[in-house]
Amino acid sequence: MLKHLVSKRHIARRCYSTAKQHPKSEFHIQPKLDFTQLAENASIIEKNMVDRNYDKIDMTLFAQLNQQRLNLYKHLVSLKTKRNDLSSATRATSVKEERNELIHQGKQVKQDIKLCEEQLNQTETQLLEQGLMIPNNTHQNSPIGSEEMARIIKVVGTPIDAKGKKDHVAIATGLNMLDLEQAAIASGSSFYYLQGMGAFLELALIQYAMHKAASRGFLGVLTPDIVRTQMAYGCGFQPRRGESSQIYDIATKSSADTGLCLAGTAEIPLAGKFATKLLNEQDLPQKVVGFGHAFRTEAGGRGLETKGLYRVHQFSKVELFAVTTPDQSEEMMEEIRSLQEDMFTELGLCFRILDMPTEELGASAFRKYDMEAWMPGRAKWGEISSTSNCTDYQSRRLSIRYRPKYQTAKNTQFCHTLNGTAIAVPRVIIAILETFQQDNGSVRVPKVLRRWIPGEPEYFHPPSK
């Protein structure tokens, strides 16, 4: 599961060995976890894993391994000091017997150093494999428990009566916007064609979200849809033990494992845009808005919400992403939430904002807000957006650092990363069609979208028969 984050060939690059290293044969970012900090907070981490319903890591063993690492490192430093002292003494002496004895001792110390380096690298490999399975810390205000424990922060608008309302599939079919049957032939189940005004509605939502984010200082980015699997895992999208992967891995005829996958969200390539970067504090925060396609296997989830556009294998998505200092991240989370709230308000949707509980945070989120729109055709709330503060979880795995403006004990520090969905196109289309449906089969078009739709229509009308 962690092979794209931990490579034993690369772990030695940390590197305590003075031996010649293998040349780089593949790209790899070495995760930088603070083993001592994790060991010192073992009891807190164990409780956090229980709260998140995560498979527990033996933190007692982890702390023992970390102490072993510290002892080995101390011993290695002592051995290298001894080697240097012997080397100096060997050069200084002119007595043959004494010189031979020093050379003999030097050879023995060299062997001891090699053995100690091997033990140290092996110990760090074990620590890293365990450490990468530890989820992020949790905000003190996050509710504890499962999805049902989510705390409602705010409700915008009033849910309209669902009685007599059509669902989005019936509405879109009547408007000739959606073709599920031919998509199933072309690509398989849970794919779709948007056509006619459905295609333009998607493009309008993308344009609206990109422009709205740009007006708030976000840099527009068109992202690649293929990413290194290490990027996906570094963002926290590796499956838990015993779970099926949601990632489409890419294989070729010549290689079953290319180390590449289809992006599950534009968050992954946007994080990759900052991977290995060393930024200046005065240049933070940095904010980007990216458009890309999201690909999800939906393994284990195909028995739920299979009808129409709610749960599909591929969809268009506009994603917000920010890189900040630790002091800026909580304020940035509220800024992203405010932008999302403004967009859904301008679209005229009824929605609510939830502070998500521990079991819904995934691996990377320190805190997470979800936004759910009322979908009268489904007669229930449906998630259309989320915002997560991942603190330094992703930056430690992708080496995203900054240089403090004023000198500190550490020359560089890890950034905080945040992400939020601006528009998940299919879910928002569902909310628009079901919210603004008319008795005659037409759908009123939100005013903010009309400028990007041919003819700037006030309504989508069923085609003339």
Q: Is 298 annotated as a binding residue?
A: yes
Q: Is 385 annotated as a binding residue?
A: yes
- pLDDT bucket at 406, cuts 50 / 70 / 90: confident
Q: Is 13 annotated as a binding residue?
A: no
Q: Has residue 18 got a pLDDT over 50?
A: no
Looking at the 3D structure of the chain, how many domains does it have?
Answer: 2
Domain boundary among 89, 107, 133: 133
Same domain, 117 and 172: no
61's tokens: 């063993």
Which has more pLDDT, 12 or 213?
213
The single-letter DSSP state of residue 230 is: H
Q: Any residues with CB less than 8 A from the CB of 97 and at least 6 apart, and which?
A: none
User: Would residue 6 count as lying in a domain?
Assistant: no
Q: Is 313 annotated as a binding residue?
A: yes
Q: Is 314 annotated as a binding residue?
A: yes
Q: Is 383 annotated as a binding residue?
A: yes
Residue 118: give its domain's CATH number.
1.10.287.40
User: Would residue 351 count as lying in a domain?
Assistant: yes
Q: Is 125 annotated as a binding residue?
A: no
Check if the beta carbon of residue 157 is closer than 8 Å to that of residue 172: no
Amino acid (1-letter code) at residue 258: T
Q: What pLDDT shows up at residue 235?
A: 96
Left if phi > 0, otherwise alpha if psi is -120 to 50, otherwise beta: which for 70?
alpha
User: Would residue 465 count as lying in a domain?
Assistant: no
Report residue 320: phi and psi, to 5°.
-100, 140
Same domain, 128 and 275: no
User: Would residue 18 count as lying in a domain?
Assistant: no
Q: What are 233-287's pLDDT values in tens digits? A: 999 987 766 667 789 999 988 887 889 999 999 999 999 999 999 999 999 999 9
Q: What pLDDT shows up at residue 263?
A: 97
For residue 427, the enclosing domain spans 147-460
CA dist 70 and 74 (Å) reads 6
User: Would residue 155 count as lying in a domain?
Assistant: yes
Same domain, 116 and 161: no
Comparing C-alpha atoms, which of 375, 370, 394 is closest to residue 432?
375
Q: What are 75-101's pLDDT values in tens digits? A: 999 999 999 999 999 999 888 899 999
Check if the beta carbon of residue 415 is closer than 8 Å to that of residue 163: no
Q: Is 101 annotated as a binding residue?
A: no
Q: Roughly what angle, to the nearest 10 degrees, separates helices 197-214 and 425-435?
A: 110
Q: What pLDDT shows up at residue 301?
A: 54
* Residues facing residue 403 across a β-bridge: 280
* Residues facing residue 372 across a β-bridge: 352, 383
Q: Any residues with CB less than 8 A from the CB of 65 and at least 6 apart, and which?
A: 123, 126, 127, 130
